[in-house]
Structure 1
């Protein structure tokens, strides 16, 4: 059944993705402009992640970011980073790089984390409306930790919601905005972790703008390869 769902999601991604673009992460926030989102993911095993994510435009070349997350399998994490524009920002191709530092708390122990990343993005117009695309590569390193002890009755899918010592991620995003109030966002998530095998997932979301500062996001995350279960995502965005 889930193989059928996964194929359907891939088809949807092609339909909307080829006519579209992607993750707006390569675009800087305007000076003194902010973005805030609340989201939660829960998979079929009942494992979940809830996060608060924010960005603030310091100036034309720098954006400050912050993320606070909590999992139901015993971890609270925090990361703050600075994203900087590469080049003048003129032209269709946008490039940024970022560096961040943070920590996570697990079973009463605090572990430091750090990350570096580079992001490319490009927007364009097409017959169905506006679109964008981006690719982000990110390396995250955490402090040395003991092997995770899984709770009774849980499976290895718990590891998806816990921080490993080393994580390499590439997210390729395609987005389509057929109207001012509606967006289709499709993301291929490739992840290589030090604690589990390589994985690939397809995340497809529908974002609706109510005409107020807040937007509602509903999505489905389906595994293509590697361990993991189908997850549902719900969130809200606020721009100010």
Structure 2
């Protein structure tokens, strides 16, 4: 964990990121991300997770989005969210608040879920290219589960420079009376036409430790 946090801070080296929670989409522009993760270990069958994430700049001061996630035969969620800026939009450090509502699947039944989050992001310049780093602190309530979840996610990457650029993600979650969980994903980004392909290797600590391979495609419109 210490190495993961240190790597995030050292790797990032000022342009808005393709996919980070503190920045709003420009008015009438959109972003789409979709992909999957295959993870497993020696004692369990592989999990197959699919994700779809989209944002749209509905107003100059409001971004509307959807976050859909499905882990085959285990869990899923579909969340509609709105993001609003805090402070001036041209500040070097950006702040935003996000509110979401949707449903999650638990034991093959669907229940309501709610999310509130605070995000901060900052751009950087270096001799290797422009980059960004961001953090999001979220509070999630999922009906049918006894306790809410507190999540802290960190992301850092280069948005210009070399053809192959680094990306690091650290995701953590705390639920009362349950073990602290985390996942750390070092990855690479590279341009393919008008899209960005992202390939990563995920180390995850949950009920069982697993290793996963992730692949996502990002596209702005």
TM-score interval w.r.t. the shorter chain?
0.7 to 0.9
Q: Which residue of structure 2 aligns with residue 154 of structure 1?
A: none
Equivalent residue for 1:221, pick from 182, 202, 206:
202
Return the alpha-carbon distance in structure 1 between the equivalents of residues 47 and 206 of structure 2. 19
Q: Which residue of structure 1 aligns with residue 73 of structure 2?
A: 73
Following superposition, the deviation at residue 201 of structure 1 comes to 2.5
Return the alpha-carbon distance in structure 2 between the equivalents of residues 106 and 225 of structure 1. 17
Q: Give the count of matched residue pairs.
A: 215
Q: Which residue of structure 1 aligns with residue 26 of structure 2?
A: 30
1:210 equivalenced with 2:192 (yes/no): yes
Return the alpha-carbon distance in structure 2 between the equivalents of residues 233 and 80 of structure 1. 23
Return the alpha-carbon distance in structure 2 between the equivalents of residues 197 and 31 of structure 1. 41
Q: Which residue of structure 1 aligns with residue 37 of structure 2?
A: 41
Equivalent residue for 1:16, pick from 11, 20, 25:
11
| Gap change, CA 1:137 and 1:223, over 3 Å in 2 | same
Q: Which residue of structure 1 aligns with residue 220 of structure 2?
A: 239
Is there any run of 5+ residues in structure 2 with no aligned partner, and where?
Answer: none
Which structure's residues are more often helix, by fraction?
1
Is there any run of 5+ residues in structure 1 with no aligned partner, and where?
Answer: 1-5, 146-163
Q: Which residue of structure 1 aligns with residue 89 of structure 2?
A: 89
Return the alpha-carbon distance in structure 1 between the equivalents of residues 35 and 184 of structure 2. 17
Return the alpha-carbon distance in structure 1 between the equivalents of residues 207 and 11 of structure 2. 25
For the aligned residues, what is the CA RMSD?
2.8
In the alignment, is the contact (CA less than 8 A) between 1:197 and 1:227 conserved in 2? no
Q: Which residue of structure 1 aligns with residue 59 of structure 2?
A: 59
Which structure's residues are more often strand, by fraction?
2
Q: Which residue of structure 1 aligns with residue 175 of structure 2?
A: 193
